[in-house]
Structure 1
Amino acid sequence: MPAELAAILYLDSSPLEMVLRGTVMYWAIFILLRLAGRRDLGTVGVADLVVVMLVADAAGNALASSDDSTLLSGITVVATIVFWSIIVDRLGYYSPRVRRWLEPGQVLLVKDGEILRAGLRKEYLTEDELLAELRAAGVGDLDEVHRAYIEADGRISVIRRHFVGKPKRPTY
């Protein structure tokens, strides 16, 4: 076996230790995140993504058994990250001022059937991407849209117009 391959495949910890580290970190992170009250992982915001990235890095160091990172230090870092995540979530819930700072506001993209280019520019969204999202929402014609917003979580919400007669045929 070439020396480079041997160096990559070399284990500086026993497999049993690695399994034990993986098991302990998995359950520590699982319990900490359950205590944080995360129920819906389908809509991941920026703060949630930061937490996941930091937890992954801290847990990875503890899992790798590097000289500067012990299992207990990894759990401590993960617990600290989750603690701050809980504090930030609670502050955003109880304080509208903090919530406005933490979450981006909604941006108007369509008003009375007209695409607002300024909103698209602000969100770096192309007209084709917007039209695809509108089609996914069941909109066949821009004239059907009273308002369309990009929400804080990145989804596009559509408020339809109410027509007396039938709307025109699709124009896109």
Structure 2
Amino acid sequence: MDKLLFSSIESLERTLIIGLMAYLVLVIQLRISGKRTLSKMNSFDFIVTIALGSTLATVLLSKDVPLLDGIAAFALLIFLQYVITWGSVRSKKLSSLVKATPTLLLYQGTFLWDAMKTERITREEILAAIRSKGIGTVEEVGAVILETEGSISVIRELADGKESSVLQDVEKPAR
């Protein structure tokens, strides 16, 4: 029962020292890896973030994992994230495997219910996004897009009669 709250001063010291060192190394590695590592998350970025957190927790709390092993794991995860993002910028095929496609949810004032259902987005969420842009009516909206990282973009108006260039990579429902 005593070990439930406190096992030893050495264990506590190890946790504090290893925790501080691992945290500092992780911050330094993330700064070196660039802004893309910490950008808005798509599913791949989310997985890397969870893996980094899990690795940090394991290094902090497991006496069986030396600090250097944890640092190597941080470096490997950040390197893999860098390689994947570097490759996805240069390859559409890799990019489509790693990132989702933006989805059109509302077009020229009309809700696209099938797309909303597929993406699990409610009418109320779309209305909130429209209101946040200071737009008073749905009819004033050219398009609402669910972006790859989950944010909702609202475009006030689109050019009449021609396909808008900002919608070229957006998944559009069949008409």
TM > 0.5 between the two?
yes
Alpha-carbon shift at residue 41 of structure 1 (Å): 4.0
Select the structure of larger CA radius of gyration. 1
Q: Relative contact order, CA 8 A, sep 6+: which one is greater?
A: 2
Among 84, 87, 93, the residue aligned to 1:97: 93
Among 106, 111, 116, the residue aligned to 2:112: 116
Structure 1: which 5+ runs fail to align?
163-172
Q: TM-score, normalised by structure 2?
A: 0.81
What residue is the counterpart of 2:70 in the other structure? 74
Please list the CA deviations of residues 100-153 of structure 1 after superposition, one character each: whole Å capped at 9, or x if unmatched. Answer: 221111111111111010110111011111111111122211110111111112
Q: Does the CA contact (< 8 Å) of 1:59 and 1:75 recur in 2?
A: no
C-alpha separation in 1, matches of 2:153 and 2:11: 52
Give the residue type in structure 1 aligned to 2:122. T
Give the residue type in structure 2 aligned to 1:22. G
Among 43, 50, 53, the residue aligned to 1:53: 50
C-alpha separation in 2, matches of 1:40 and 1:80: 13
C-alpha separation in 2, matches of 1:156 and 1:142: 15
Residues 141-156 of structure 1 mapped to structure 2, 5 A cutoff: 141-156=137-152
C-alpha separation in 1, matches of 2:111 and 2:153: 14
C-alpha separation in 1, matches of 2:142 and 2:41: 28
Secondary structure in structure 2 of the residue aligned to 1:109: strand
C-alpha separation in 2, matches of 1:156 and 1:87: 28
Report % sequence identity: 27
Which 4+ stretches in 1 moved above 6 angstroms?
A: none
Q: What is the RMSD of the two structures over their aligned residues, measured on CA atoms? A: 1.9
What residue is the counterpart of 1:138 in the other structure? 134
Q: Does the CA contact (< 8 Å) of 2:37 and 2:82 recur in 1?
A: no
Secondary structure in structure 2 of the residue aligned to 1:43: coil
What residue is the counterpart of 1:170 in the other structure? none
Q: TM-score, normalised by structure 1?
A: 0.82
Secondary structure in structure 2 of the residue aligned to 1:108: strand
2:4 pairs with 1:28: no
Q: Does the CA contact (< 8 Å) of 2:129 and 2:154 recur in 1?
A: no
Q: Does the CA contact (< 8 Å) of 1:59 and 1:74 recur in 2?
A: yes
Structure 1 residues 77, 98: closer, same or farther in 2, change over 3 A? same
Structure 2: which 5+ runs fail to align?
159-175
